[in-house]
C-alpha cells in the first residue's frame, strides 16, 4: 500500500519533468477538458445568439456581432489579397 503511493509520487515527478514549465503541463493535462469547454461555449453562444468573440448580440444567422462581422470580413479580404 505504502509502496504504491511512493510509486505514484515518483511517476508524477517523472511526468513533471516532461514539461518545460507548469503552464505547458497544465495545458497538456487539461487540453481535452479545455477543448471541450471551448467547443461547448461556442455552440452555447451560437444558440443564444451571442457573438463568438465578445458578449454583444450576434447578427441573426451568423455567430458574430456587427463589429466582429465587419472585422472578419476585413480579415478575409486581407487574407485573400495577400496571396
CB of 74 to Zn ion, least distance (A): 13
* Closer of 34 and 54 to Zn ion (Cβ): 54
Which residues bind to Zn ion, rule: CB under 5 A? 51, 53-54, 56, 65, 68
Q: How far apart are CA 27 and CA 25, in angstroms?
A: 5
* Closer of 9 and 70 to Zn ion (Cβ): 70
Residue nearest to Zn ion (CB): 51
Q: Whose CA is closest to 58, among 67, 49, 47? A: 49
Cβ–Cβ < 8 Å for 64, 54: no
Amino acid at each position: 500500500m505504502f509502496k504504491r503511493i511512493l510509486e505514484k509520487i515518483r511517476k508524477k515527478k517523472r511526468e513533471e519533468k516532461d514539461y518545460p514549465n507548469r503552464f505547458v503541463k497544465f495545458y497538456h493535462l487539461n487540453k481535452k477538458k479545455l477543448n471541450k469547454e471551448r467547443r461547448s461555449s461556442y455552440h452555447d453562444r451560437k444558440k443564444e445568439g451571442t457573438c463568438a468573440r465578445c458578449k454583444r448580440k450576434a447578427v441573426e444567422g451568423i455567430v458574430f456581432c456587427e463589429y466582429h462581422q465587419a472585422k472578419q470580413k476585413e480579415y478575409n479580404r486581407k487574407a485573400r489579397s495577400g496571396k
